[in-house]
Structure 1
């Protein structure tokens, strides 16, 4: 059976992250979140989620670096 991973890149998304996580419900087997330097409550919200694997990534001014890092953290198909 396939395992579905979702990779998200965040920065200061406290207003939206819970809505996003709620909208996917039980459709995803693994949620990988790569944060690029939030200074609001985004990290606090994510740390309370039992199904989220949270990683910190220093922003390099290149979205593809963050995207590739996030994809490399995923274990799903």
Structure 2
């Protein structure tokens, strides 16, 4: 069986986070969330789905945020 990991780079996505993660939770072996400074409940919602929630200070570089995961 193929194992799939989902890595998401997010910031202030509380309005869509739960719907997004609900739609993929049964398809992924692991979910990794890289939060780039959310001030809403994005991280709280993400922690309902995974313990792999990483705080990353945004430095205007998607590659750096992606590589941290």
TM-score (normalised: structure 2): 0.88
Q: Is the 8 A contact 1:12 1:38 kept in 2?
A: yes
Q: Mind listing any 5+ residue stretches in structure 1 that lack a counterpart?
A: 71-77
The list of structure 1 runs, each at least 4 consecutive aligned residues, that deviate by more than 6 angstroms after superposition, is none
Aligned to 1:55: 54
Q: Higher relative contact order at CA 8 Å, sep ≥6: structure 1 or structure 2?
A: 1
5+ long unaligned stretches in structure 2: none
- Normalising by structure 1, we get a TM-score of 0.80
Considering only aligned residues, what root-mean-square deviation do their CA atoms show, in Å? 1.4
The reply to whether residue 66 of structure 1 matches residue 65 of structure 2 is yes
Separation in 2, partners of 1:52, 1:14: 17
